[in-house]
A = this chain, B = another copy of it.
Amino acid sequence: MTTMRKISQLVGVSTATVSRALKNPEMVLPETREKVLKAVETLGYRPNILAKNFSSGKTQTVVVIVTDLTNPFFSRIVQGVEEEAQKLGYSVLLGDTNDDINRERVYAEMVLNNKADGLIQLDHLFPFEDKDKEIAKTVPMVSVCDAIDGDYEYPYITIDNFAASRDVAKHLISLGHTKIGAIAGKDDSLVTSDRLGGLQRVLQEHNIPFNDDWFMRGGYTKQCGKESMEALLSMGEYPTAVYCFSDEIAIGAIKAIKDAGLRIPQDISIVGFDNIDICEYIDPPLTTVDQPAVEMGQRAMQILYQLINGDAIQHITEFKPYTLLVRDSTGLAPK
């Protein structure tokens, strides 16, 4: 391996000068710099990042925790994180947890033992062990999409889920729907309660009762969406519109409806959430709420960068713009 030592010997300067020539060229005579660069070239020197990181105490790496990388909404956020990370000189360690809290902890711990400098959390769980609660308060962490459960101060990048849900509800009501169901993802997260709250508020404003039996919970998956919809259809009376808290859920729900021989939107209207790529391709194209996934990921990384580099952690919640995209999966309520 070619080290700075070798370069310095070849050129006849000290390692300090080599280091400066490479990192702070202006601190060194142009001709010295030239000689160093030439030696670097001929010897094929590469800085040993391991040593550099050790010396500086920084890893220039962040961890991103995600429950399911195959969900395109999450993977787009991760793409945004990574794109921005690269710009800022950071690498991204992947933390796919498959909803396993133990794996969350493994990844979170990386920040505590200097495997990474910061953490981006896409899940709503506090990823550290109880015993690390205190120290965790000082670690640079940002959450995206969903807020971290409990009374913590981490910055949070999201959209206004309450308002988005209001828009969804108004849209459905404008089509004449009064029998509205919903299928949620995570059971008890802020996102879920915001979205449910927005829906309920609008129903209330229109004096439309909310039927608790029509509020299903599961995970953000097609499978859960299908099962929940099947359960709804098996009830004596079922809703004419179902608001799914993710597009994946909606895709599962659509499958269940078609399998039951019903039509969308003539018999049942479906709304999704996230606006993943496939929404435009499915049949019928899905009405959904667009979240700027890439931008959210980028922004999370920017804020994390600030935290890592000295800014104090403060609980800001940053809202990104969302858009209700009306496509063909919603239509007039059946008579």
Q: Are A79 and B70 in contact (CB under 8 A)?
A: yes
- Which B residues lie within 8 Å of A226 (CB)? 281
Known contacts A93-B92, A96-B79, A281-B251; A112/B258 CB under 8 A: no
Is the C-beta of A312 less than 8 angstroms from some C-beta in chain B?
Answer: no
Q: Are B91 and A93 in contact (CB under 8 A)?
A: yes
Instruction: Identify the interface centre among A44, A49, A78: most chain B CB within 10 Å of its CB.
Output: A49
Known contacts A51-B54, A75-B75; A86/B113 CB under 8 A: no
Is the C-beta of A203 less than 8 angstroms from some C-beta in chain B?
Answer: no
Q: Which of B46, B49, B75, B86 meets A69, CB within 8 Å?
A: B75
Known contacts A93-B91, A93-B94, A222-B281; A113/B76 CB under 8 A: no
Q: Which of B48, B93, B110, B254 meets A114, CB within 8 Å?
A: B48
Q: Are B278 and A251 in contact (CB under 8 A)?
A: yes
Binary contact track A52-88/B, C-beta < 8 Å → 1, others 0: 0110010101001000011010011011001100100
Is the C-beta of A103 less than 8 angstroms from some C-beta in chain B?
Answer: yes
Q: Which of B54, B78, B252 meets A54, CB within 8 Å?
A: B54
* Residues of chain A at the chain B interface (Cβ within 8 Å): 44, 46-51, 53-54, 57, 59, 61, 64, 69-70, 72, 75-76, 78-79, 82-83, 86, 91-94, 96, 98, 103, 106, 110, 112-115, 135, 222, 226, 251-252, 254-255, 258, 277-278, 280-283
Q: How far is the CB of A189 from chain B (nearest CB, A)?
A: 22
Q: Are A78 and B94 in contact (CB under 8 A)?
A: yes
- Which B residues lie within 8 Å of A54 (CB)? 50-51, 53-54
- Which B residues lie within 8 Å of A51 (CB)? 54, 114
Q: Which of B92, B114, B281 meets A255, CB within 8 Å?
A: B281
Q: Are B57 and A113 in contact (CB under 8 A)?
A: no
Query: What 4 A-B pairs have minimum CB-CB distances, sorted nearest first?
Result: A54-B54, A50-B114, A46-B113, A69-B75
The copy count of this chain in the complex is 2
Bound Cα distance from A239 to B60, whole angstroms? 53
Known A46-B113, A70-B76, A91-B93; 19 more pairs at CB < 8 Å: A48-B114, A49-B113, A49-B115, A50-B50, A50-B53, A50-B57, A50-B115, A51-B114, A70-B72, A70-B75, A78-B96, A83-B98, A86-B106, A91-B94, A91-B115, A93-B93, A252-B281, A255-B280, A278-B278
Bound Cα distance from A78 to B96, whole angstroms? 9
Q: Which of B50, B96, B254, B281 meets A82, CB within 8 Å?
A: B96
Bound Cα distance from A230 to B72, whole angstroms? 25
Bound Cα distance from A53 to B53, whole angstroms? 10
Closest B-chain residue to A226, C-beta based?
B281
Q: Are B86 and A110 in contact (CB under 8 A)?
A: no
